[in-house]
Amino acid sequence: MLEVQIKINGIPVIVPEGTSILKVARMANIKIPTLCWLKEINEIASCRMCVVEVKGEEELVTSCVTEVREGMEILTHSSQVVESRKSTLRLIMANHEQKCLTCVRNNSCELQKLCHEHGIDDASGCQGREKRYEVDDSAVHMVRDNNKCIMCRRCVAVCREVEGVGVIGVHGKGNDSYIGSPFDMGLGETTCVSCGQCINVCPTGALYEKQEYNAVFSYISDPSKYVVVQTAPAVRAGLGEYFGLPVGTGVEGKMVTALKMLGFDKIFDTNTGADFTIVEEAKELVKRLEEGEKLPLFTSCCPAWIKYCEHYNPEIIDHLSTCKSPHEMLGALIKTYYAENIGIPAKDIVVVSVMPCTAKKFEIKREDENAAGFPDVDIVITTRELGRMIGSAGICFGDLPEGEFDTLFNKSSGAGKIFGASGGVMEAALRTAYEMITQKEAPSLEFQEIRGTKGIKTAEYRVGDQQLKVAVVSGLKNAANILESIKNREAEYHFVEIMACPGGCVNGGGQTRQASDMINFGQIAERRAKILYDMDSKDTLRKSHENPVVTKLYEEFLDEQKAHEYLHTSYVSRGL
């Protein structure tokens, strides 16, 4: 690789040729503010927050798209640069609804932070927008408020380039342009898959999940309700960031203590539900392998992938695993087996799921997710909403002692723990399926080939007398590519894991939102996933089918009919 010598803020550095000034600055530990740039998917240089001064150039240049060249001398924070950024911010604010105090993104808004850092602390020259847009709350999972949109187009890019869905785009021209759906339909009327990745990249409060945590507070204070909460594997890997802890900090124990302080009647672990999912899914895989039918089997725990499939690929619905996702399985068991055991009717039990995901808000409203005749799960709140609940209850999260989940659904295997990472479901299923097929433990319980955040990972494993071909995919654009190769018979697999969010649920659309510098350079998914893999490697119980809670329920309660009735679901073709 060719290198060039440059100076950045007077300091000489040698860097690879062809690198952008923005990236070079980051390598030199200098943060240049950005509002539109997203690595590889939104390099449109429209916001001009990232301008820098380059010696010899008459105009300031946008650092996100300008490459370094030999001898370049760059000033990232000169007075000319700072003045330009201030003007940019004033222009944006002049067209921005200034209701920051009541905004869901107050204190975590990138625009607000930049205004604060640049001293835009009064309204002079920023009167706030005159044109009003109707707020779109037609989707089950989220709200679009264009009055706070700054037209950075990050949401458009992530929807199209990462998820391959493209249900939002720029409408109108110039000052009258805005982000909307085709034919100005409400988002809820489109084929939006509810992944929430657009929320994660939105720098302001223009996009946010439907806030449902107040309903949870109401249930908790209602003495006629028995309120059970469960938390997904990835939540413990992202919640700490809401309280300022570094990315990659596991907070399982503190999270459980906080949930107890909030007043839930029982705190259960969705990881236990994941172990049930694996046992059922491995059984399904083994059966299909024996019968040689409906292969490849596709995983079903990601509701955004399921919705995508129902809209765009209904012809493969038969290939989807019929297993409910882990929190739905656990909800079903809480409202049947557990309800019976504690003598409380299912109608009086409220199951709250804390998820790293916005599509789960859609999933709980699906038909055929109601084992006891009531929804398996009543409310889904995101990691961020749980953060708000904890904050509003005045709980000092960072100082909390480690708590423990309540019996009965408190125990999980390492396999259940890694569900939150891309490849985790596949790896967990392989540990169990290998034993079901061969009656022996797999030579290694760690399937390294399918770990990591690469969008498409493939591997082959010898299982008994069979060569098992598997693929692990994250990001629905990658899913479209692999489906295409399967349909064209260019590739053949027995088992495929698909997650909508890049890197899996650890990077879900409901996780604590990070600012763009971290999104672009922070390797968020890798650092969060490491927490889960570390938990797995330290566990002595690493296979779902050996979880004593799982074996107990299959012995006492889950005969074949009940398992099928309570733990499986069905799908529909939704059309485009």
Which residues are near ligand FES by CB under 6 A?
34-37, 45-50, 62, 64
Q: Least CB distance from residue 157 to ligand FES, whole Å? A: 12
Strand, coil or helix: what is 380? strand
Name the residue nearer to ligand FES (CB basis): 62 or 412. Answer: 62
Name the residue nearer to ligand FES (CB basis): 46 or 87. Answer: 46
- The answer to whether 7 and 13 have CB atoms below 8 angstroms apart is yes
CB-side neighbour CA atoms (13 Å) of 190: 23
Residue 28 phi/psi, 5-degree rounding, is -90, 15
Q: Least CB distance from residue 54 to ligand FES, whole Å? A: 14
Q: Least CB distance from residue 520 to ligand FES, whole Å? A: 10
Name the residue nearer to ligand FES (CB basis): 62 or 257. Answer: 62
CA distance 323 to 329: 8
β-strand 11-16 against 3-8: which pairing, if any?
antiparallel
β-strand 73-75 against 51-54: which pairing, if any?
antiparallel
Contacts of 29 (CB under 8 A, 6+ apart): none
Residue 122 phi/psi, 5-degree rounding, is -135, 175
Q: Least CB distance from residue 158 to ligand FES, whole Å? A: 15
State the Cα torsion 139-142-39-172 to the nearest 10°: 60
Name the residue nearer to ligand FES (CB basis): 111 or 400. Answer: 111
Q: Least CB distance from residue 47 to ligand FES, whole Å? A: 3
Q: Least CB distance from residue 569 to ligand FES, whole Å? A: 43
- CA distances (Å), origin 456, targets 45, 78, 303, 449, 481: 29, 43, 19, 11, 9
Q: Least CB distance from residue 570 to ligand FES, whole Å? A: 45
Name the residue nearer to ligand FES (CB basis): 63 or 231. Answer: 63
Name the residue nearer to ligand FES (CB basis): 50 or 549. Answer: 50
Q: Least CB distance from residue 45 to ligand FES, whole Å? A: 4
CA distance 98 to 85: 19
Contacts of 47 (CB under 8 A, 6+ apart): 34, 35, 36, 37, 88, 92, 150, 152
Name the residue nearer to ligand FES (CB basis): 65 or 436. Answer: 65
- The answer to whether 293 and 568 have CB atoms below 8 angstroms apart is no
Burial of 223 (0-12, 13-18, 19+ CB in 10 A): exposed
Name the residue nearer to ligand FES (CB basis): 50 or 355. Answer: 50
Name the residue nearer to ligand FES (CB basis): 88 or 412. Answer: 88
Q: Least CB distance from residue 203 to ligand FES, whole Å? A: 10
Other beta carbons within 10 Å of 458: 16
CA distance 197 to 1: 34
Q: What DSSP string runs through 179-193?
A: EE-GGG--GGGTT--
Q: Least CB distance from residue 61 to ligand FES, whole Å? A: 10
